[in-house]
Amino acid sequence: MNLWFLAPELLAELAISKDETGTFRVSSHPSDKPKRANPEEVIRQLVMIQLRCHYHYPYGRLLQEYVVQMGVTKKRADIAITDNNNNLETVIEVKQVIDDNSILQLQSYMHAAGARFGMVVSLHSRKVFMREPNGSFTQISDLPVYCGEHDTNGTTYGQLTKVDDSIAKTLMASLGITGLSRISNTVSCLYIKNKTMKLSNTSLLSYSAVRKQAIGTGIILPSTVGNGDWDNLLSLLFDTATVVEGNATTDAVRRGEELFQAFLNQICEQCDSNTETMFKEIYSAFTDWYRKNNNGNDKYLPSRKNISAQLLKNGFLSRKLGGQVYISGIRIL
């Protein structure tokens, strides 16, 4: 378990106070107004301190409650980091538990705000992503460190490295884990020592929870693993997971997602936020287009839920009206 939040230099900077109503409040800098000390707020203030102490970002580059325009709706990112020209460079979301939805939310903010980097962080883990020029996301090992000088890309950040999976593969072999299947957005099957463990994705985030369930199936795992090693192993497992959607494999699902991106580029037009199209019309048009471009086969046609998530990932927001779901900022040509 990564206990980064217990670093003495972080705790020393955290200011905790009690107001006249007896409510505890917390802040990370003398210039900041203390905020109610709920769990996510405490994590956020610790991250703010860490960005200054460990990553060396100037205080003036760090913004809280940064407004992200998502179509007709305004959302607020927990933390934002700006570059030399005050352009948004990094978005950070703080969660009590990191799951697929929190990662999707982060990436939608990155798309909408044009952020190059993003991180979702909890007390015990964090996921960091870099947005590629084509709009895809690459998981990287950590946020860049502020170095005060421009690199060849014109940014003020240090060198980036992708997640090294060699340690994860070694741990995977030592634990007897052979793979992972994603049953849904919330449930997966972990294949370990010739047995199948079905468990929630939330439980997967905790090695202790996985170990406890493994004991129930007769599998004894080591009491602990190295700091951050389980997170890296999970990243490797999810990157190589079989996605069970009917009998779909990862390649089939990925092809469906690629076809939907092509559908957006060829059949749809991005409009202003006042333009809305019913979701069922978009899905119906995509279904017809998918069949034409997939030899009439819709066996691995992405589900409505999958397409809804991809629309959000591309920055298109939805709203319900009169029992129908409308997607803003898009129309079918």
User: Are 137 and 107 in contact, with CB atoms under 8 Å apart?
Assistant: yes
Angstrom CA distances, 177 to 164, 170, 244, 320, stand at 18, 10, 18, 43
Domain shared by 25 and 60, yes or no:
yes
pLDDT at 157: 37
Task: Look at residues 243, 267, 286 and tell me which one is the last residue of a structural domain.
Answer: 243
Supply 229's token pair.
């090693």
Same domain (yes/no): 136, 85: yes
Q: Which of 107, 139, 117, 121 is closest to 44 using CA atoms?
A: 121
What is the domain-level CATH number for residue 322? 1.10.10
Mean pLDDT of 234-252: 56
* Pair type for strands 137-140 and 117-121: unpaired
pLDDT for residue 273 is more than 50? yes
Assess whether 258 and 320 both reside in one domain. Answer: yes
| 145 assigned to some structural domain | no
How many structural domains are present in the chain? 3
Query: Is residue 58 in some structural domain?
Result: yes
CA 35 – CA 62 distance, rounded (Å): 16
Report yes or no on 160 lying in a domain: no
User: Looking at the domain assignment, is residue 147 inside a domain?
Assistant: no
Residue 179's domain comprises: 166-243
In this prediction, residue 60 has a pLDDT band, given cuts at 50, 70 and 90, of confident
Report pTM: 0.48
Using 50, 70 and 90 to split pLDDT, how confident is the model at 251?
low
pLDDT at 91 over 50: yes
Give the residue with greater pLDDT, 192 vs 1. Answer: 192
At residue 247, the pLDDT reads 43
Residue 182 and residue 203 in one domain: yes
CA 242 to each of CA 99, 175, 177, 182, 236: distance values in angstroms, whole numbers, following the listed order: 18, 19, 14, 6, 12
Q: What is the pLDDT of residues 175-185, one digit of tens each?
A: 989 887 766 65
Average pLDDT over residues 44-66: 88
Say yes or no: 257 and 237 in one domain: no
Task: Count Cα neighbours of 138 within 13 Å in the Cβ-side half-sphere.
Answer: 14
Decide if 77 contacts 113 (C-beta within 8 A): yes
